[in-house]
Amino acid sequence: MMRSGAALAMVAGLLASCAGEPPYFGPLGPDHETGYGDTRIAPTLYRVTFRGDDRTPADMVENFLVLHGAQVALQAGYPYFVLVMRNTSATTTFRYTPTGPAGGGVFGWWSTSLSPPFGITGTANPVRRYEAFADIELMTADEGRSDPQALDAHVVLDRAGRAVPPAVPQQ
């Protein structure tokens, strides 16, 4: 049962990292920039994505990506899936907080290429957001049992699904 052990280890981080306010786990959409998405590339090949907010650490983004891969597999009628390839990237912006006579956080977000207005001092704090994507190959039960890299979608959902909050967008 090496595959089940791998799936359990993968979702253990998800369970451990859900302390505190949980991040949004729902579909990407026009009303929110965080969440999951998927695109069918071929009959048994999908690209799944998960984009976190500034409070979602990289390991949680990756765990939510695997969780959504399990959802996609089961919705398509396949009990197993394998991560063919995956990637996680980080985007950093800076939150500028003015100090001094003009003080008070009036100016908000600044990109890495902009400077604060002339004559105003303050602190630029980095804000990092992670996005992960993977191509997943869906597998039948026979294919999945014979592939040591395959993940049992039921095991992933059973272990991680209990720790994931319902899809309620954050305001």
Q: The pTM is what?
A: 0.71
Burial 118-135 (b: 16+ CB within 10 A, else e): eebebeeeeeebbbbbbb
pLDDT at position 85 is: 94
Which among 67, 33, 27, 14 has a CA at the least distance from the CA of 167? Answer: 27
Per-block mean pLDDT, blocks of 10 residues, the chain (171 long): 50 46 71 88 96 90 92 96 95 80 48 53 85 97 97 91 51 40
d(CA 30, CA 45) in angstroms, rounded, equals 26
pLDDT at 161: 60
Rounded to 5°, angle at Cα 135 from 9 and 80: 55
Q: Say what the pLDDT of residue 109 is.
A: 47
Under 8 Å CB-to-CB from 10, ≥6 apart: which residues?
Answer: 63, 66, 151, 156
User: Residue 12: its pLDDT value, please?
Assistant: 47
Beta bridge partners of 125: 95
